[in-house]
Amino acid sequence: MSAWKRTHFCGELRPEHIGQMVRLNGWVHRLRDLGGLIFVDMRDRTGLVQVVFDPAIGRALHAQAGELRVEYCIGITGEVRRRRPGAENPKLPTGEIEVFAHSLMVFNPSRTPPFPLNEERLEVDENLRLKYRYLDLRRPAMYRRLELRHRVVKYIRDFLSARGFLEVETPILIKSTPEGARDYLVPSRLYPGKFYALPQSPQQLKQLLMVAGVERYFQIARCFRDEDPRADRQPEFTQLDLEMSFVERDDILNLIEELFIGIVKECTSKRVLKPFPRLTYEEALARYGTDKPDLRFGMELVDLTDLLCETSFQAFRAVIETGGVVKAIVMPGCASYSRKEWDELGEFVKRYGAKGLAPLALTDEGIRSPIAKFLSEQELQGIVARTGAQVGDLIGIVADQPKVVHDALGRLRQRMGERLQLADPNLMAFTWVLDFPLLEWNERENRWDPTHHPFTAPREEDIPLLDSDPGKVRAQCYDLVCNGNELASGSIRIHRRDLQDKIFHLLGYTDAEIKERFGHLLEAFEYGAPPHGGIAPGIDRLVMLLSDDETIRNVIAFPKNTAMVDVMFGAPAPVSEEQLRELHIRIVLDEE
């Protein structure tokens, strides 16, 4: 190999290299045999360069080149020359030059790949790509994603290290603790009948690092959750885990805001909406119908309840009298929608519990609507004025209980934003959502559940409500949202044993359960635990957004498919009876 070790990368050759002899290593990306000259687009991790095999330089070499096929792994030596006028390729960084080959080495031939690797947009079944992921990753588009991920993670490490953070690795084999999903369990061979669990997050460990006096911790952490298959989730994922002592909420928000602005600036050509808007949870629901709003476009929900509280239209009035609300969104330029298209929008909101959508189209001839005859002229004009709708716009109204209205209109807003292409794809609209409820009532289990996790601190002024009205207690937690996606969740943590005990009891844990599951953490709080807080942005989803991808699987080197299966390794898979015996495990399958 030493005689064929590269002197240059394919993608770095430029006119200043003209006249030089170079040695390149890589793969055959594309071939064109024009009868005389043979042109090979040679590829390595840096890009493409055109290699020319000219029979005038060597007939044997030309014949050898004629045996090449796509994805052969090769090495060449040759002279860098300027392309003839008119033959330049402005789409390639190397498009002004080409390399005339003087020798060729085939390191390894290749079978015909199961899908083309030289197409930028690949239309092929994803499971086939995942089965041959080592080939899929050869594609330049996939390599760019890996490179972007590397640069993002490196920027994070450099940024936090420069600000006094210590990167600390926490255990992968820990005790099973509740984090909101099922644990992946690992049986212990040495302790039959006992199990480790893979961490859903290093939550308790990073809090213990604060007790230990580390003060500023981070980790690029691998996390594991045994969830049911969902379209864009992975059983294992990567997050930036971060915790700080002696801080308040805004200290963490300001740090993360600076970090993310820097990531976008240094790693992409995208723009950032700054400073990051801050919305309370209630405000986000009221204005956008969701706690994950996409702020790249408007189309906010408009409350019409007070305008219609005396209406004679019973479909609205009955809802208002039973504590419901009437809200609307304005769909710009959609007044020409047909009755069929109205019905389609109505069916869409029905999927989310609404009884239907009341449309009002503002045309040059006036308002076109099936409900106009039930509303007074004053009510119609009030709706138009309140919503700010213009001629050519379509107003969509939903009347129901607040939760239904927000969900239905929030989803309709997102759908129409996509259909009308209202969102700037080059804008990263980060948004903070604050002041979530600390607890939510679980009707099925008849108990309180934590909205985020049980270690989140309540707002100081709301602590007395824990005894009288737990549902009204606001949490010192915060989510970072970008373009309609949740990127991070964090909170100021509980650091006093008495308050943590109180929360555990409120969640229905017995004293024995508290001691068994959390005794180590509660005991640590008795040794001068400092006030602390943190956050955990998801690396996979962040890189997905930065690379304009539609799925996190494209930015993970070796992901599972949508069914949580590794189709390349064939995992999960059976193990031998001997392995099971060593672990003292017997498989008992449910009867069909």
Q: What is the pLDDT of residues 482-505, one digit of tens each?
A: 999 999 999 999 999 999 999 999
pLDDT, tens digit (0-9, with 9 covering 90-100), for 54-79: 999 999 999 999 999 999 999 999 99
Predicted local confidence at residue 493, as pLDDT:
98
Smallest Cα–Cα separation from 239: which of 155, 170, 147, 153?
153
Predicted local confidence at residue 120, as pLDDT:
81
Average pLDDT over residues 214-220: 98
Measured in degrees and rounded to the nearest 5, phi and psi for residue 73 equal -90, 120
Helix axes 511-525, 497-506, angle to 10 degrees: 160
Helix axes 249-267, 539-546, angle to 10 degrees: 40
Q: Are residues 317 and 381 in the same domain?
A: yes
pLDDT, tens digit (0-9, with 9 covering 90-100), for 92-111: 999 999 999 999 999 999 99
Predicted local confidence at residue 392, as pLDDT:
97
Q: Are residues 97 and 164 in the same domain?
A: no
Containing structural domain, residue 400: 297-422
Q: Are residues 474 and 500 in the same domain?
A: yes
Strand 38-44 to strand 21-33: parallel, antiparallel, or no bridges (unpaired)? Answer: antiparallel
Predicted local confidence at residue 445, as pLDDT:
85
Q: How far is CA 441 from CA 264, 308, 447, in A?
A: 39, 31, 6
Let me know if residue 94 belongs to a domain: yes
Q: Are residues 17 and 91 in the same domain?
A: yes
Predicted local confidence at residue 361, as pLDDT:
97
Sheet order of strands, 430-434 included: 166-167, 216-224, 236-245, 532-535, 485-492, 477-482, 430-434, 278-280
Rounded to a whole number, what is the largest CA-CA distance in the chain? 93
Average pLDDT over residues 373-394: 96
Is the model's pLDDT at 132 over the cut of 80? Answer: yes
Average pLDDT over residues 502-523: 93
Residues 6+ apart with CB under 8 A from 338: none
Q: What letter does residue 591 receive in the DSSP assignment?
A: P
Domain final position from 402, 422, 442: 422
Predicted local confidence at residue 227, as pLDDT:
87
334 pLDDT band, cuts 50/70/90, is very high
Looking at the chain, the whole-number percentage of residues with pLDDT higher than 90 is 93
Rounded Cα–Cα distance for residues 482 and 264 (Å): 12
Domain final position from 51, 77, 108: 108
pLDDT, tens digit (0-9, with 9 covering 90-100), for 235-291: 999 999 999 999 999 999 999 999 999 999 999 999 999 999 999 999 999 999 999
Q: Are residues 292 and 309 in the same domain?
A: no
Residues 6+ apart with CB under 8 A from 82: 15, 18, 96, 97
Give how many domains the chain has, as a whole number: 4
Predicted local confidence at residue 229, as pLDDT:
82
Q: How far is CA 546 from CA 131, 149, 261, 263, 551, in A?
A: 26, 9, 12, 9, 12
Domain final position from 518, 544, 562: 518
Is the model's pLDDT at 158 over the cut of 90? Answer: yes
Let me know if residue 438 belongs to a domain: yes
Is the model's pLDDT at 231 over the cut of 80? Answer: no
Let me know if residue 148 belongs to a domain: yes
Q: Are residues 445 and 507 in the same domain?
A: yes
Average pLDDT over residues 455-462: 96
Q: How far is CA 136 from CA 152, 232, 405, 502, 552, in A?
A: 22, 19, 43, 52, 15
pLDDT, tens digit (0-9, with 9 covering 90-100), for 553-572: 999 999 999 999 999 999 99
Let me know if residue 544 belongs to a domain: yes
Residue linked to tokens 């005339």 = 100
Predicted local confidence at residue 178, as pLDDT:
58
Let me know if residue 150 belongs to a domain: yes
Predicted local confidence at residue 591, as pLDDT:
73
Predicted local confidence at residue 339, as pLDDT:
94
Rounded Cα–Cα distance for residues 302 and 389 (Å): 11
177 pLDDT band, cuts 50/70/90, is confident
Rounded Cα–Cα distance for residues 565 and 567 (Å): 6
Q: Are residues 29 and 86 in the same domain?
A: yes
Let me know if residue 114 belongs to a domain: no
Tokens of residue 462, six digits? 């709301």
Looking at the chain, the whole-number percentage of residues with pLDDT higher than 70 is 99
180 pLDDT band, cuts 50/70/90, is low
Is the model's pLDDT at 34 over the cut of 90? Answer: no
Average pLDDT over residues 522-527: 97
Rounded Cα–Cα distance for residues 246 and 534 (Å): 11
Q: Are residues 416 and 494 in the same domain?
A: no
Q: Are residues 315 and 398 in the same domain?
A: yes
CATH of the domain at 35: 2.40.50.140
| Spatial contact of 363 and 335, defined as CB atoms under 8 Å apart | yes
Q: Are residues 303 and 408 in the same domain?
A: yes
Please give the mean pLDDT across all residues of the chain.
95
Tokens of residue 282, six digits? 């209630």
| Spatial contact of 486 and 450, defined as CB atoms under 8 Å apart | no
Predicted local confidence at residue 592, as pLDDT:
61
Let me know if residue 118 belongs to a domain: no
pTM: 0.93
Predicted local confidence at residue 217, as pLDDT:
98
Residue 395: HSE in the Cβ half-sphere, 13 Å Cα cutoff: 30
Average pLDDT over residues 443-453: 90
Let me know if residue 584 belongs to a domain: yes
CATH of the domain at 187: 3.30.930.10
Predicted local confidence at residue 181, as pLDDT:
81
Q: Are residues 513 and 552 in the same domain?
A: no
CATH of the domain at 396: 3.30.1360.30
Q: Are residues 451 and 557 in the same domain?
A: no
